[in-house]
Chain A
């Protein structure tokens, strides 16, 4: 820590402080606004969760959610050749009778969309195997559900019983956000912030 040579003037310091506060608060505000828009304007879909490794499931303050569409076999699927760990992709989901399944994986946002489908921006966590027998693990950014400290256990049991689905809002450019949960057929939403 080196001391400043001369004493700073009030205006110089005050302007610096106000600018930093405005920018930092602005960044946080922009993040909230972006999420709020996704939640309020996004199309609602309901994804079923599948149990994950029980040791990993509950992390103190949040529950890890895993979906049928998180692990994708590329056999017979429209997917790019050189998928790599860490790649940003756009996953097209299409509805089945009671859930959703992966219809296509693209590097760019697809131009046209099949009937009833949605596109979610995602990231490749890893690729296993080669050629047509590849399986891809995909992160959609909706794999965490934050719970009050000490209440994760109950939700974890419900996930293991396969009775939890997640309400996801999907907005423009594939942005997705967790809107709420469906537990034993009952919808639970987070209160909106305002």
Chain B
């Protein structure tokens, strides 16, 4: 098998709240390969979002290591992590997190502002991304003029516009009705199957997990179960 895209060894994360020590992750070992659609499931407080954040380089582990794309993220400084995220990571959040004063086009264009692309090239990239999520007709609409499902598809377009190595989605269907959720999951599934994007998705929803090729269950910071294509391992 190829070298994993993401390799996590003995990963631990401890939070301190006043004098209380909270262990969010404890000895996690995990390998994710290019092209996988990974689902992280577990109850609230199980550590799945913390694990996602560490893989994304927006949080840090207190124990063990997370090597992503051959880079030990803890070796990068804050600016280095920011640049790394811009180049390799596409984010999809539960609450969409679009900038309300920007149009769909401008929201999608945001990550490209950090690149050296010309205005024309940026426009081409944005239009392509919006075409993938089937929202080219909503380019000039503001988030308040879009439905929840459309907002999340704009967020997905923003996540893929830089052609990142992998997409991280934190409860992407958490704020959506069933129909919109299905649309969003289909888009993610297409990105995985047709464009070969590696996707790591945190969710509570078992129906969402069905779109993934592998599901990791976490509980109280521990990796408790791995499910491959519906069969237990």
The answer to whether A and B assemble together is: no
